[in-house]
Amino acid sequence: MADTTNPPTRPARGGTAGRRFAEPAGFAVFALLLVVFPLLAPETVVNVGVYALIYGIAAIGLTLLMGLAGQVSLGQAAFFAVGAYGQALLVTRYQVPMVVAALVAVGLAMLVALLVGVPLLRLRGHYLALATLGLGIIVTVVATESDYLGATSGLYGIGKPEFGGRRYDSPAEYFWLLSPVVFLALLVARNIVAGRVGRALGAVNDSEVAAECLGVNTYRLRLQVFVVSAGYAGLAGVAFVHWIGVVNPNAANFPLSVEFLLMSVLGGLGSVWGAIVGAFAVELLDEGLRSLIPTLLPGAVGEVQLIGFGVVLTAVILFVPGGIHGMWRSMLARLRRPAPGIGRRVVSDEDDSPLLARPGRPAPGTPLLEVRDLVRRFGGVTAVGGVSFEVRAGEIFALIGPNGAGKTTCFNMISGVLAPSEGSVWLRGERIDGRKPHVFARARATRTFQNLQIFRSTTVRGNVAVGRHLRSRAGLLRGALVLPARREERQIHQSVEETLALVGLAGDADRPAADLPFGRQRLLEIARALALEPDLLLLDEPMAGLSGGERRELARLLRRLRAGGMAVVLVEHDVEAVLALADRVAVLDDGRLIALGTPEEIRHDPAVLAAYLGVDDDEALTDEALTDEVTRAAARELANGDGA
């Protein structure tokens, strides 16, 4: 609709128009800075700059891991050391050409990460942080004790790189040699964040269960990012060893891991740019503090700059938790002043044509989902006690019943969020109970949540784009080399627009999802689920929080989806809507199925009236007169199926 008022903008993942121009400009300015820095800065500062570039590469990897995969590594230096030692061994002992050696060394760091990550990333919580901390110690000890690796004195004699007769031995020369490497490293990291994998991992950080239900294989993506992150550290190790010519066990030391951490956090985890900015800030600070602290504290010797780092890290976390990048972003946000107003709802037309039909979908009426004798116990409480039903393609199937009857627990078992205690769930003839939600999603089935699971850190558009995860293919590699993924991203953009229009959210596409009113967040969850183009859609209380008009729009949408051949399972308390919409209704009470039939049959079932509407049960009624009137009216509605 034309008069949808300006959607307020807050920079959020998912890309807005402004960013499309800001980013290439950013990269151009960065390239220019890299070229002129060695020309303008004195040689000692250029020397600091070389270290900033080297460590910055490792910090980019850490920013990916922490900012994107939400995992903390306290052993980034271990992979740095593996890369450095690998390179040193290959070039000094086996005379492998430098570039080939670098590829092997980086691969080695990634292999170590894979071995560590495979068991650990299955676990949630801080296991990875602890394990990487241990890994750093192990690498240090192995390097110290192994004569092959030169024990405490390490390996030395690694030459400065030479290409085409040119020796890169001055700080300025080495800075220029590293510049294209860092530039590409940053570009690849940026592409990972902005692409399909980054979007999915961002969603995982907001709500793991929702991302899984949209088909995101959380474990696999986290593992991939962890391995890539180790590759960055390994590459930094390679660059390091060719610059200073030696590597010793200190390379795997904890203080270096902390320094990488500081670079990432100080720069800001919200953007890969933060890593580079943080690296320069930390390295310059390091130089400054080394000379400053001994004058402040006479007699201070050794790694005194670490005291200063501790103070800076604490201050950053207390006062600028978003880091330098976060400060920059809130400054930009303050500069842009969007016009006031609320995005107007786009009124959908009176169209009743089928929606989202697709070839290859099971014919209407064929069994799609089968639930057999499902039981779920929590401790001594039986939430669901032996429920069986079948859902056919192209029908709307409703599950109603009092609060606590086990409806949502059934949904959780069907969608793989919970494993049943007994019984089985079959989708298209394949048994799926106890498997992960992304398996359910891959079989073209998804769900929404009673307690909303919106991806709060992105826009409305970004939420729906995650729903396209399984309908797009760009993996980490293709996403990193952005060109082949470009076309796919455009297609995603297009289909997201169409899906948003279905639920009347087109005017809100660029709003932060968290700013939507409650009821529209519900519609957003439905749009997100529809983006997957499911054959089976489970909706948990989709009408809750919607006004009367909005409920009617939703009812129309569900009918159109059914006409397109989709099967919809509905948990809903709006009895009138359920009876008008559903082809069949199942009634749960206290974990058991007490009725299953057409709306007509359910409407007159005395057991349903007693359990659900409380007509024959007034033990808990408080205000006789009023409650009686309310229940009588509700019973009338139930009996007539039309309103007051």
Tell me which residues touch other proteins (CB under 8 A): 8, 337-338, 340-345, 350, 352, 401-404, 450-451, 515-520, 541, 544-552, 555, 559, 573, 575-577, 580-581, 612-614, 620-623, 626-627, 629-631, 633-634, 637, 642-644
What is the closest distance, in whole angstroms, from the C-beta atom of residue 451 to other proteins in the complex? Answer: 8
Give per-residue burial for 341-376: e unless 16+ CB within 10 Å, then b.
Answer: eebebbeeeeeeeebbeeeebbebeeebbbbbebbb
Copy the structure tokens of residue 175: 């800075």
Nearer to other proteins, 408 or 415 (CB): 408
Nearer to other proteins, 178 or 586 (CB): 586
CA–CA separation, 62 vs 433, rounded Å? Answer: 36
What is the closest distance, in whole angstroms, from the C-beta atom of residue 356 to other proteins in the complex? Answer: 18
Crossing angle of helices 273-296/171-194, nearest 10°? 130
What is the closest distance, in whole angstroms, from the C-beta atom of residue 336 to other proteins in the complex? Answer: 9
Nearer to other proteins, 88 or 546 (CB): 546
| Residue with the two structure tokens 């498997």 | 435
Nearest to 78 by CA among 116, 44, 45: 116
Nearer to other proteins, 195 or 591 (CB): 591
Sign of the C-alpha dihedral, residues 407, 410, 412, 415?
Answer: negative
- 442 with 163: CB under 8 angstroms? no
What is the closest distance, in whole angstroms, from the C-beta atom of residue 602 to other proteins in the complex? Answer: 14
What is the closest distance, in whole angstroms, from the C-beta atom of residue 424 to other proteins in the complex? Answer: 28
Q: Please, which residues have CB within 8 angstroms of residue 282's CB and are 6 or more apart in sequence?
A: 52, 55, 259, 262, 263, 266, 309
What is the closest distance, in whole angstroms, from the C-beta atom of residue 545 to other proteins in the complex? Answer: 6
What is the closest distance, in whole angstroms, from the C-beta atom of residue 639 to other proteins in the complex? Answer: 13
Nearer to other proteins, 240 or 612 (CB): 612
Nearer to other proteins, 422 or 515 (CB): 515
* Three state DSSP letters for 271-337: CCHHHHHHHHHHHHHHHHHHHHHHHHCCCCCCCCHHHHHHHHHHHHHHHCCCHHHHHHHHHHHHHCC
Nearer to other proteins, 488 or 550 (CB): 550
Nearer to other proteins, 318 or 644 (CB): 644
- 242 with 98: CB under 8 angstroms? yes
Q: Which helix (H) or strand (E) holds 348?
A: none
What is the closest distance, in whole angstroms, from the C-beta atom of residue 566 to other proteins in the complex? Answer: 16
What is the closest distance, in whole angstroms, from the C-beta atom of residue 333 to other proteins in the complex? Answer: 9
Nearer to other proteins, 20 or 337 (CB): 337
Pairing of strands 381-392, 166-167: unpaired
User: Alpha carbon 444 to chain centroid distance?
Assistant: 20
Q: What are phi and psi of 71, to 5 degrees?
A: -115, 140
Nearest to 272 by CA among 202, 329, 189: 189
